[in-house]
Amino acid sequence: MLINVERPLRVMLIDDNIIDLKINSKIILISKLFDEIIQCQSGEEALSYFTMHSGKLNKLPNLILLDIQMPEMDGFEFLDNYKLLPEEWKANCLVAMLSSTLDFGDIRKAEANPYVLKLLKKPLIPAELATIFNANFNLTD
Amino acid sequence: MTRSPVKVLYIDDEENNLLAFKASFRRQYEIYTANSAAEGLKVLQNLPVEVIIADQKMPHMTGVEFFKSITDSYPDPIRILLTGYTDISALADAINHGDIYRYITKPWNDLELHNSIKNAHEAYRSKIDLRNKVDELEKTNDELNRFIYSISHELRAPLVSVIGIVNLVKMEGLYNSSGEYWELIESCSNKLDYYIQKTLQYYKNNKTTSDKSEIDFKKLVDELIDLYSYTDRDTQFKLNINQPHPFMGDSFRLEVILGNLISNAIKYQKDTEEQKLVEISIDVTPFSAEISITDNGLGILNEHLEKIFTQFFKTKNNKGSGLGLFIVKEALNKMNGKISVNSSLNQGTTFKITVPNAN
C-alpha cells in the first residue's frame, strides 16, 4: 500500500560513521528524492530527535535509513525502542536498513523485522533508493 | 612430573575383601572403600574418584544396579565389576546397561586386577583429555566465527565507504578529472572487496554445520543473475528450470556454488562476442538436482582443466582470485555433490553439477 506524501520530504540517516553520513547525504542529495536530511550519529540521538519534535509532524522523517553495526545501541536495538514510540509519529515513516554486512544472521534478522522494508547494501545507489521510494510513497502534489 | 595416585573406590559388603584389597594396593593407589552401594555413593559425592570397583553380590543393591544408578550422575569414573560366580544374565546386563569396562572373577589375581586398574585409569585419562580437547576446539571455533563476523564488518565497512566515494565522484562527473587515478582506485577497491567476500565464503563453508531448507531454484537463480549481471547487462540468460519436486538442501552453500559459477560465466566472456549467452538448466528429482551452466565465453585451456579447482590457481590474464572454483569444489564436498567440466577454447565452457536432494 502506498503512503500519500507531499513535499517537503525528510529522510533520517542513522550511522555512527561520519564519513558514511557524509557520503550517503550526498547521494540522497543527488537522487533529489528528499528535501531535507536529518543526520544522527547514534540511535539515541535519533530517538531524542523524535521526542524533541514530538508535536510537530512536519519535522518528523518519512524514511529512516538505519545502519546495523553501531556502538552501544545497534540498529536492531534502535528498532526495539522505535517500536515504543507513539503510533502517530510513525504513521508516515518507513524504515530501511543500510549496511555493509554480509552476515547471513544480520540479513535474515533485518528481513524478519516487521518495521524494516528492506536491507539496502552499502554503498547506497540512487536507483535502489528510488525503487524503494516508488514502491512505498505516492507524491500527491 | 609426579602425578597424584589414582583414586580408586572399592565397594564390597565383605569387610575381609576390603581389607585385603587395601593391603595389596595401598602403595600404588589412593584407596577409598565402602561396604554398600549407599556408602559408595557418599564417597562419590565428595571425591573425584577415577576408577570404581564394585562387587556384584551385595544386599540391597547389586554392583550392576549401582553402576546403572550412577550412569547419569557420575558418567566419568571407569567401572570394574567383581563377581564370585559366573552369572551370564548379570554379565549381559552389566555390559549393556552398566557401562562396565572390565569384569573380574573372585578371588582376584593381584596382577590381573592391578593391570585392569591401570588400564581403566588410562581410559579415564583419555576420556577426560578428549573432552578437554573438544572444549578447546569449540572455543577456537567460536573465536574464529567471531573473527569472521568482525572481518565482515570492521574490514569491509571502510572499503565500502571508499567505493561509495568513487560512485559519488562518478555521479558528480569527476571520474576522468585526474587521469586514470579514480579508475585505478575503483579497480583496486573492487578487487579487495572481492577477496574479502571470497575469504568469508571460504570460512563459512568450512564450518561443519549445514542447514537444510527448501530451495526454490527458479527464485535463487533469478536473484543471483540479478546480483551478478548488475555491472554487465550485455549477457543474455536462457533458463530451463524444471522443479516438479521439492528440494531440500543447504541454502548458503548452493548460493555460493551457483553464485560463483554464474559470476564466472559472466566475467569470462569474449569482449568481441556479439551475443554473450549463458544457459542454465536445472532438473530436480526426488533424489538430486542436476545443474548445468554453459557459456559461450573464453573457454579453458585443456592443460588448465585439471587445475581450476585448486586453491589460488590463476591463469596469466585471469581476473579472479583463484578462490572461486576452489570454494565451489569445497562446498560441493561438504554436500556430497559432484562437479565436472567440459570446455573448448574460444567456444565456451559447461559445468555440470549433481547435488543430492536431502528431502
pLDDT > 50? residue B1: no
A133 or B252, higher pLDDT: A133
The region that residue B14 occupies, defined by phi over 0 for left and psi between -120 and 50 for alpha, beta otherwise, is beta
Domain identity same for B188 and B225: no
Whether B245 and B357 have beta carbons less than 8 Å apart is answered as yes
Q: A35-44, B112-121, B195-204, B247-256: which range is least confident on average?
A: B195-204
Final residue in a domain of this structure, among B191, B207, B223:
B207
Looking at residue B37, which CATH number applies to its domain? 3.40.50.2300
Q: Does the beta carbon of A30 lie under 8 angstroms from any beta carbon of chain B?
A: yes
Total count of domains within chain A: 1
pLDDT > 70? residue B2: no
Instruction: Report pLDDT digits (tens) over B244-285.
Output: 999 999 888 998 999 999 999 988 888 888 899 999 999 999
Whether A47 and A77 have beta carbons less than 8 Å apart is answered as no
Most confident of A94-108, B4-18, B186-200: B4-18
Domain identity same for B218 and B356: yes
Q: Is residue B124 part of a domain?
A: no
Residues B140, B143, B145, B147, Cα dihedral to 10°: -130
Mean pLDDT for all residues in chain A: 91
Final residue in a domain of this structure, among B178, B207, B236:
B207
Q: Is residue B164 part of a domain?
A: yes
Instruction: Report pLDDT digits (tens) over B120-137.
Output: 999 999 999 999 999 999
**Alpha carbons A15 and A40: distance in angstroms, whole number:** 6
Domain identity same for B102 and B145: no
Domain identity same for B185 and B250: no
Q: How many CB atoms lie within 10 A of CB B11?
A: 26
SS3 A10: strand
Domain identity same for B307 and B231: yes
Q: Is residue B123 part of a domain?
A: no
- List the grid coordinates of B220: 535463487
Domain identity same for B156 and B220: no
Domain identity same for B242 and B303: yes
In three-state form (DSSP H/G/I as H, E/B as E, the rest C), the secondary structure along B17-28 is HHHHHHHHHCCC
pLDDT class for B318, splitting at 50, 70, 90?
low
Domain identity same for B140 and B182: yes
Instruction: Report pLDDT digits (tens) over A21-39.
Output: 999 999 999 999 999 999 9
Domain identity same for B316 and B183: no
Q: Is residue B84 part of a domain?
A: yes
Contact A69 B156 (CB under 8 A): no
Total count of domains within chain B: 3
pLDDT > 70? residue B231: no
Strand partners, B125: none
Across the interface, of B149, B159, B168, the residue whose CB is closest to A23 is B168
Instruction: Report pLDDT digits (tens) over B133-145.
Output: 999 999 998 888 7
Its ipTM equals 0.88
From chain A, the residues in CB contact with B165 under 8 A are 23
Q: Is residue B115 part of a domain?
A: no
Q: Is residue B117 part of a domain?
A: no
Domain identity same for B87 and B144: no
Domain identity same for B224 and B183: no
Q: Is residue B127 part of a domain?
A: no
Q: Is residue A141 part of a domain?
A: no
Contact A100 B168 (CB under 8 A): no
In sequence order, what are the residues at sequence separation of 6 or more whose Cβ sits closer than 8 angstroms to the Cβ of residue B314? B320, B321, B322
The range of the structural domain enclosing residue B188 comes to 136-207
Domain identity same for B216 and B201: no
Instruction: Report pLDDT digits (tens) over B147-180.
Output: 877 777 788 899 999 999 999 999 999 999 989 9
Q: Is residue A139 part of a domain?
A: no
Q: Is residue B116 part of a domain?
A: no
Q: Please enumerate, as own/partner, the contacts of A56-62 that have beta carbons within 8 Å and a separation of 24 or more.
A: A57/A88, A57/A89, A57/A92, A59/A10, A60/A10, A60/A89, A60/A92, A60/A93, A61/A10, A61/A11, A61/A12, A61/A93, A62/A3, A62/A5, A62/A9, A62/A10, A62/A11, A62/A34, A62/A92, A62/A93, A62/A94, A62/A137
Across the interface, of A26, A101, A125, the residue whose CB is closest to B153 is A101
- List the grid coordinates of A112: 524478519
The pLDDT, as a whole number, for residue A31 is 93
Q: A130-139, B56-65, B258-267, B300-309: which range is least confident on average?
A: B300-309
Average pLDDT over residues A120-141: 90
Contact A27 B153 (CB under 8 A): no
Across the interface, of A30, A103, A126, the residue whose CB is closest to B152 is A103
- List the grid coordinates of B232: 554487465
**Alpha carbons B231 and B267: distance in angstroms, whole number:** 10
pLDDT > 60? residue B325: yes
Mean pLDDT for all residues in chain B: 88
Contact B197 A102 (CB under 8 A): yes
Looking at residue B288, which CATH number applies to its domain? 3.30.565.10
The range of the structural domain enclosing residue A26 comes to 7-134
pLDDT class for A92, splitting at 50, 70, 90?
confident
Q: Does the beta carbon of A122 lie under 8 angstroms from any beta carbon of chain B?
A: yes
Looking at residue A37, which CATH number applies to its domain? 3.40.50.2300
Q: Is residue A83 part of a domain?
A: yes
Average pLDDT over residues A84-100: 90
Q: Does the beta carbon of B199 lie under 8 angstroms from any beta carbon of chain A?
A: no
pLDDT class for B118, splitting at 50, 70, 90?
very high
The pLDDT, as a whole number, for residue B208 is 61
Average pLDDT over residues B188-207: 83
Q: Is residue A140 part of a domain?
A: no
Average pLDDT over residues A93-122: 88
